[in-house]
Chains A and B, each alone.
Chain A
C-alpha cells in the first residue's frame, strides 16, 4: 500500500490502464490515509469503499478539492461558519469537468475563510498544520490542499489563487502549485472572493500532474462569461533543458523582495545558476511597480469581496441569527446579527476595508488609484516579456512560519504575498515548484522553498515545459517526516 502513495497521479493512472493497479485499490489507499489526517486538513472525507470504479482518462483517481468549490449534496463551507452545513444544489464546473474525466472527490480541504489569508489560521474550523513541522502554518488560503498533497493524504488537489493562495501554500509545503491565466478555467460554482482575480488551479506532486489537471479543467464555460479556455489546449511537459530560452530575474521580487530570508535567497541563487546551466540565457530585469502590488491588491480584493460577500445575509442559505425586537428594522437587525456571528475577524476586516475604499468620497483615492496601479503593473510585465520568455522569483519571501507568528499583525500577514500578488493583478499564469530546503532566519528546521515561474498570458504549455526541465534539474525528493505511507 505504501508503494501506491509514492506514485505521482499520472504514474498511478498509467498503472491502472495497464492493469497493474486497481482503481478501487488506488482510491481506498488514499481514503484510508485521509482517515488518519491529524493536520486538520480535511473538512469532509469520502469513505474507503466509496469508489465507483475507474472510468475516463483519469481512471477513477481520487482528488482533494478545496472547500470553496460547490459540490452537489456535499457540505461546502468556504472555511466559514456562515456556511456551516450548506449543501449546494449544484457542482462547480471545474469539479464537474474532473468528474467527467473520471476523477472522484476524495475530500474537501480546509482553507482560510472565503480564501482570505496566507496561513490557514483564518479558517472557521481550526488551522491546518504544516506536515513538515506541525508547529508551523501550511500557508494559505489553499493550505489544506497543499498539506494533503505534501503529507500523501491525497495524490493531488485543486485550490484557488487570488493573490497567491495556490502558489504560497505550495511553496511552504514543498509541492507544485499552478495559478493559470485569468479566464483559463471556469469560476462557476467557485465561491467568489475577488471576481477579477480569482482563478482555480492544481496543487500536485510534480509538474506533469499539474499539466494533466489543467488540461482537464481548462475551457470555455457558458456559465462563466469571463472563461475563455486555453487556445490550443495544454501539452504535457517533456523538456529536459532550457536551451534557447531567456529568463528574467526581476530584482524587486527577488534580491530586493521585502522581508526575504537569507535561506530563501541562497536557494533562489542556486536555482538561477541551475537555470543557466540548463542552457537558458539569464539576466536581471525590472518590474518597477511591483513593489506597489500589495497596496493595489489590498484595495481591489477587499473592495470586490465586500460586494461579493453581501449575499451572506441569512435569507437564502447558511446561518441566520434572530433580530433584536423593537429595532427600527427587524430585517436589518437580522442581517447584522447573522453577519456578525457568522464571519470571522479577517473577513470582517476585509469587508470593512473594501466598503471604506468604495464609500462616497474615497472611491477615486483608493479604488480608482489601485486600478491605475494595476495597469502599470501589467505594463511592467509586458515590457519584461519583450526581452524574456519567462520570469523567475522566489514564491514566498520566507519558509513556513510558526502558528500564531503573524496572526495579530494583518499587514505582516499580507506581506507573505509580496512575490505572488503582481501576477494575478496582471492576469498572468504563474507556478511554484519545490526548489530546495532552507532554515528560517534565526534557525530552525529545514523547510521547503518554492521557485516561481511566470509566463505571458495563456502560455501555460511552455511554462509547464520549462518548469519540467527545472524540476528535473533540481531533483527535489525530500518528503515531510510525518507523511503517510
Chain B
C-alpha cells in the first residue's frame, strides 16, 4: 500500500517533518484508511461527471470598484516577526 519512503516523500511535499516513530505509524494508518477508501473501486463510474460544487451558481460578479483594504498595521499585528511594514522570514537559501 503506502510505504515508509512514500510517506517521507508526501511529508516533504506537505512541509511536515515527521519523527521516525511518526513515520512508521503514519505508514500503517494511511494504508488502513486507503484500503477503506479503495472500496470506491467497486463502483462503475464510467461517464459520470465529477462534482466540484453542489449548488448551481452562474458566474458571481461584482462591480470592479476600488475600495480600501485592511490597514497594514492591523494585518501585521498578529505576525510573528513583523519588520519595516513587512513579514520577515529566514533566508530561502543557505
Contacts and interface: CB of A to CB of B under 8 A. Distances in A.
Interface of A: 86-90, 181-183, 196, 222, 225-226, 228, 289, 292, 294-296, 298-299, 306, 310, 313-320, 323, 326-337, 339-340, 343, 348-349, 351-353, 355-356, 359, 366, 368-376, 378, 410-411, 414, 425-427, 457
A425 B53 CA distance: 9
7 tightest Cβ-Cβ pairs between the two chains A and B: A427-B54, A371-B50, A330-B90, A320-B80, A317-B78, A225-B60, A336-B17
B10 A356 contact: yes
A373 to B, nearest CB: 5
Given A313-B15, A376-B48, A89 B74 contact: yes
Interface of B: 2, 6-7, 10-11, 13-18, 22, 26, 29-30, 32-34, 36-41, 43, 45, 48-55, 57, 60, 62, 70, 74-75, 77-81, 87, 89-94
Given A332-B15, A337-B17, A369 B40 contact: yes
10 contacts: A89-B77, A315-B87, A329-B93, A335-B15, A348-B18, A349-B29, A349-B30, A372-B45, A376-B45, A410-B32
Of B18, B40, B51, B89, most buried by chain A (CB within 10 Å of CB) is: B51
Contact of B50 (A89, A228, A372): A372
Contact of A348 (B16, B79, B92): B16
Nearest to A331: B92
A contacts with B: majority SS:
helix
Contacts, number: 169
Given A89-B74, A320-B81, A329-B92, 15 more contacts: A86-B78, A182-B55, A225-B60, A294-B36, A298-B37, A310-B15, A336-B16, A336-B17, A339-B15, A348-B18, A351-B14, A353-B33, A370-B37, A372-B49, A427-B55
A359 B34 CA distance: 14
Contacts of B34: 353, 356
Nearest to A222: B62
A327 B15 CA distance: 14
Of A86, A327, A353, A410, most buried by chain B (CB within 10 Å of CB) is: A353
B50 A351 contact: no
Nearest to A319: B80
B contacts with A: majority SS:
loop
A347 B33 CA distance: 14
Given A328-B94, A329-B93, A352 B60 contact: no
Contact of A292 (B2, B33, B43, B81): B43
Nearest to A72: B74
Nearest to A327: B94
A374 B77 CA distance: 41
B29 A226 contact: no
A334 B90 contact: yes
A337 B79 CA distance: 17
Contacts of A86: 78
Nearest to B73: A89
A314 B16 CA distance: 13
Given A359-B10, A411-B32, A457 B55 contact: yes
Nearest to A220: B60
Given A182-B55, A315-B89, A318-B80, A375 B48 contact: yes
Contacts of B33: 298, 353, 410-411, 414
B57 A318 contact: no
Contact of A371 (B52, B55, B94): B52
Contacts of A88: 78
Contacts of A314: 80
A127 to B, nearest CB: 20
B30 A353 contact: yes
A188 B52 CA distance: 19
Contact of B89 (A334, A349, A373): A334
Contacts of B38: 295
A330 B78 contact: no
Contact of B94 (A296, A329, A353): A329
A373 B16 contact: no
A292 B80 contact: no
A343 B10 CA distance: 16
